[in-house]
Amino acid sequence: MTTPPPSHEETIPLKSRIWVSAGDGSIGFLQNLIGGGALTYYFTRVLALSPELASWAWVLFGIWNALNDPLIGFIADRTKSPIGRRKPYIRYGAPILALSFTLFWVRLPTDNQTVLFLQLLLCLFLYDTLYTAIASALYLMPYEMAVSNKARSGVFVWKIIFMAFSTGLPLVIVPIIQPGPGDDPTVFRWILIAVGIVLSGVIFASTWFYEEKHFQQAQEQFGFLKSLTESFKNKSFLIFLVTSFTVIYCQTGLMQGVLYYFDELKVPGLPIYLSLLVGIVGGVFLWVNMRDRWGVKRCLLIWLAVFALGCLAVLTLGRTTIGGALGFLLIGVGFSGGMYLVPIMNGDVIDHDEQRTGLRREGMYAGINSLVTKPAISLAQAAFLTIVTRFGYDQALAKGLQSNSAQTGILVGWMAIPTLLLTVSLAVTLWYPLAGEAWEKTKRQLAVVHAEKERAYLEKMGYSG
């Protein structure tokens, strides 16, 4: 094992960029099925679990969802193993993840509301524990592999490619294979079980194709409470949390609402999906090419404004094909920014923390981030169901038979809150401090420090460079 000399520009091998992104995209695909609406739709529309009980399941789950993340992040930061701090959770957690995902789709021999409620709730608890450990490790891996935004950017571009599939394919495939009330769900369930097993296999296999730096394992970490409080002293992290919460809420709500949108408003799917694809691809080229020219902060501000305008367009014009296509073009640009700019922002926040404390504490930051963002998934699910119910949505009706008021409720529950949250995030991000040449100089110095620490650690462990 060797490390580059301090003057060497950081690079991440192509195979590592592809495989870490494939693992991240695979678990993102599973999460988009669970958190993006397919699970809620299946339990409420197919199994006939009441929307009220489904909402309560998401709210109760959200409590555990919030509590387990900082704890798992704290433990991960202190993990010591021959393969690193993050990889053990990915490699050995993947088979258990496959099992937990399968349990969602096992049909119990009863239609009892309490039993269905408990199945949804308990499976969410089990699945999310595995998801948190694996997803946070995969999310943090680029920060363990490099410091410079240029080197990390190579990973994030591949992540966007995989995430485009993991986000877009559920939007296209699930409405096609998803059964409605009274339909036989057998084929649907077996397809999802197979998807869970295959993608968990990709996550497992990916761990042989990338490496993380090891010197972090030798650092003496803070205790839990001090680690927690030090994180909240980081002003840039507080601003990041507002944006991160917004992105997760929007992504969850947008994916959930699209199932109802195409069911009831009868807007043709092809122009909507093509507009979304063009927006995502165009957004990726925009952000990658303008990141250094505009700076990360300015890109963030432009991205949030475009994303908010897209949601507003669908909210007000979404009953028409042209309005829906225009809105989803801008939303596609928003999705690409969420996948590319937010991880870069997060990396800068963690780097700033190391500048302050001298420690790499990615796990704790990921845990606190999830403490804030995971409830966004539950809130998006519960808020959408509550709003559409208030507007008269009747879950017992066949597709396409909802009232005009219920159709309006779908648009409001789908787009109103994201528009508001994105506007608030735009205002808050004006105060984001990590920008300018001074910050770029700090990043370059930190890369040199990492190379020196990794070399010293490997020499101590008996490796020569």
Listed in sequence order, the residues at least 6 apart from 427 whose beta carbon sits closer than 8 Å to its beta carbon are: none
What pLDDT is recorded for position 10? 67
Domain at 303, CATH number: 1.20.1250.20
CA–CA gap between residue 222 and residue 228 (Å, rounded): 9
Tens-digit pLDDT profile for residues 22-34: 999 999 899 888 8
The count of other CB atoms within 10 Å of the CB of residue 319 is 16
Tens-digit pLDDT profile for residues 65-115: 777 778 888 888 788 888 888 899 999 999 999 999 999 999 888 889 999
| 448 part of a folded domain | no
Q: Tell me 265's DSSP state.
A: S
- Residues of the domain holding 127: 14-209+224-434
CA–CA gap between residue 453 and residue 218 (Å, rounded): 10
Instruction: Judge whether residue 307 has pLDDT over 50.
Output: yes
The count of other CB atoms within 10 Å of the CB of residue 270 is 10
Residue 264's identity, in one-letter code, is E
Task: Give the total residue count for the chain.
Answer: 465
Contact 335, 281 (CB under 8 A): no
State mean pLDDT over 41-68.
Answer: 84
| 451 part of a folded domain | no
| 397 part of a folded domain | yes
CA–CA gap between residue 458 and residue 465 (Å, rounded): 8
State mean pLDDT over 333-354.
Answer: 90
CA–CA gap between residue 404 and residue 196 (Å, rounded): 37
Quote the pTM value. 0.71
Contact 406, 264 (CB under 8 A): yes
Distances (CA, A) of 37 to 66, 120, 332, 349, 366: 20, 13, 19, 31, 24
User: In the chain, pLDDT over 90 holds for what percent of residues?
Assistant: 37
| 228 part of a folded domain | yes
Q: With CA atoms as reference, report the closest residue to 368 among 28, 74, 77.
A: 74
Q: How confident is the model at residue 149 (pLDDT cuts 50, 70, 90)?
A: confident
Q: Which residue has the higher pLDDT, 10 or 248?
A: 248
For the chain, what is the domain count?
Answer: 1
Backbone φ and ψ for 189, nearest 5 degrees, come out as -65, -45
Q: How confident is the model at residue 8 (pLDDT cuts 50, 70, 90)?
A: very low
| 91 part of a folded domain | yes
| 3 part of a folded domain | no
| 9 part of a folded domain | no
CA–CA gap between residue 265 and residue 314 (Å, rounded): 12
Q: Which two tokens stand for residue 393?
A: 């949505």
| 411 part of a folded domain | yes
